[in-house]
Amino acid sequence: MAIDIQKQVEYWKNGAIEDWNVAQDLISQNKVRHGLFFAHLALEKLLKAHVCRHKQDLAPRIHNLSRLAELASLALNQSQKDMLAEMNPFNLEGRYPDLLMSPPSQNEAEGYMRRTKEVYQWLMNQL
């Protein structure tokens, strides 16, 4: 049975929109660790949509944003690549409590969200 790539792309894109909204809500409630986890998840899902479209196959079950961007062959600038690398630890912090570091301050989290939003919007515009 053939994979419906457009259905996969829409699935990941719609999930990313929902997770981005949750991330913004959590950050506004000063729930920084969870908010940044969902921001990471939104980027991850958008990147998986790009991987599906580029590879014409299912996205791999990985969470590394930099690796997903590579697999999608996206023409990211250095600032975008840096942002993806900076967001990677928030995936682990949300999943593995033994790796907990001190969470960013509310102000730092809002800075991450502003910079993440630029990459998020760029990825959306490419779909």
CB atoms inside a 10 Å sphere around CB 102: 6
Question: Is the per-residue pLDDT at 77 higher than 80?
Answer: yes
What's the pLDDT score for residue 2? 86
- What is the pLDDT averaged over residues 30-58? 96
Task: Report, at the CATH architecture level, how domain 5-126 is classified.
Answer: Up-down Bundle (1.20)
Q: How confident is the model at residue 96 (pLDDT cuts 50, 70, 90)?
A: low
**Burial group, residue 95, by CB count within 10 angstroms (0-12, 13-18, 19+):** exposed
pLDDT digits (tens, 9 = 90+) for 1-10: 789 999 999 9
By the 8 A CB rule, do 65 and 88 touch?
yes
